[in-house]
């Protein structure tokens, strides 16, 4: 037998109150973090971290590996005025690094693939390495989740090692976030996928380490609960890319 109507209403209201209280706490934490910025800690490789390669570590088959060594000047080719405006915005942050030092990264998104999101993210990482020797890594979100699943049944990298590796590097590029809902190996268990991404994002927030997210959807459309969406918003400068497939333009030219 279910609860009487008046009790169900109280339970529903109680659940809503708890959710509101939780969101208020998160917003308060984010506000305090921004008002009292702390420099990001020096990178110290943990015991379980795999050896990194120069510049960025690109995981196998990642589209981002095509952008190894790309710099800001490479982003100018075949770009329209909107792209150039975005580049100026990102290079301005590179010059001051005020947000990056406080753990604030970027959320690059466009509805269509090929707009240059990953390329510009990698260019920023490479430029930072050039002048500050900053360690960075880039990983596709689907590949990240696959690595975690494989760690349960393999003798390769453990789940602990994977998270240590990605939560200690100074700058992380989490490429194509949200796309996992279209992959059959993860689509059936979105709650598990969200849990892994939440753990990764939350760990980097707690260490004030910046993350650059790239996606083909705005933050509000990500297949996650509002709590995780709020966390991403709180540590990201959101940049909308024009819906132009630059790769197609290059082929035509």
Listed residue (98, 108, 193, 96) closest to 144, CA to CA:
193
pLDDT at residue 75, rounded to an integer: 77
Please give the Cα distance from 47 to 15 (Å, whole number): 42
Instruction: Kindly list the structural domains of the chain, giving each domain's residue range(s) and its CATH number in brackets, ordered by start.
Output: 58-252 (3.40.50.300)
Q: Which two tokens stand for residue 121?
A: 């993210």
pLDDT at residue 36, rounded to an integer: 61
E strand or H helix at 160, and its extent?
Answer: helix 159-168
CA Rg value for the chain: 20
Residues 6+ apart with CB under 8 A from 162: 144, 147, 148, 151
pLDDT at residue 35, rounded to an integer: 63
E strand or H helix at 149, and its extent?
Answer: helix 141-151
Half-sphere exposure of 71 (CA within 13 A, CB side): 6
pTM strictly above 0.85? no
Q: What is the pLDDT along the chain (253 residues), one digit of tens a residue?
A: 554 545 445 545 554 565 566 556 556 655 665 566 544 444 333 333 333 333 344 444 345 555 677 888 887 655 667 888 898 889 888 888 888 999 999 999 998 888 889 999 999 999 988 888 888 999 999 999 999 988 988 777 899 999 999 999 999 999 999 988 766 555 567 889 999 999 999 999 999 999 999 999 999 999 999 999 999 999 999 999 988 766 554 443 3
């Amino acid at each position: 037998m279910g609860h009487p109507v008046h009790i169900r209403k109280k339970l529903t209201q109680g659940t809503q109150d708890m959710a509101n209280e939780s969101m208020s706490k998160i917003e308060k934490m984010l506000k305090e973090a921004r008002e009292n910025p702390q420099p990001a800690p020096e990178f110290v490789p943990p015991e379980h971290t795999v050896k990194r390669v120069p510049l960025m570590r690109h995981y196998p088959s990642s589209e981002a590996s095509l952008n190894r060594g790309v710099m800001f000047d490479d982003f100018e080719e075949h770009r329209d005025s909107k792209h150039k405006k975005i580049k100026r915005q990102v290079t301005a942050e590179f010059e001051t690094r005020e947000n990056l030092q406080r753990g604030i990264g970027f959320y690059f998104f466009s509805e269509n693939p090929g707009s240059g999101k990953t390329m510009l993210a990698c260019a920023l990482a490479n430029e930072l390495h050039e002048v500050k020797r900053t360690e960075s890594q880039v990983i596709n979100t689907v590949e990240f989740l696959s690595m975690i699943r494989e760690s349960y049944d393999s003798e390769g990298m453990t789940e602990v090692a994977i998270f240590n590796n990605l939560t200690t590097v100074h700058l992380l590029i989490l490429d194509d976030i949200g796309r996992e809902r279209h992959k059959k190996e993860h689509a059936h268990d979105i709650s598990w996928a969200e849990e892994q991404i939440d753990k990764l994002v939350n760990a980097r927030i707690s260490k004030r380490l910046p993350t650059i997210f790239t996606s083909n959807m705005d933050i509000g459309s990500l297949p996650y609960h509002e709590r995780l969406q709020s966390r991403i918003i709180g540590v990201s400068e959101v940049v909308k890319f024009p819906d132009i497939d630059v790769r197609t333009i290059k082929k035509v030219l």
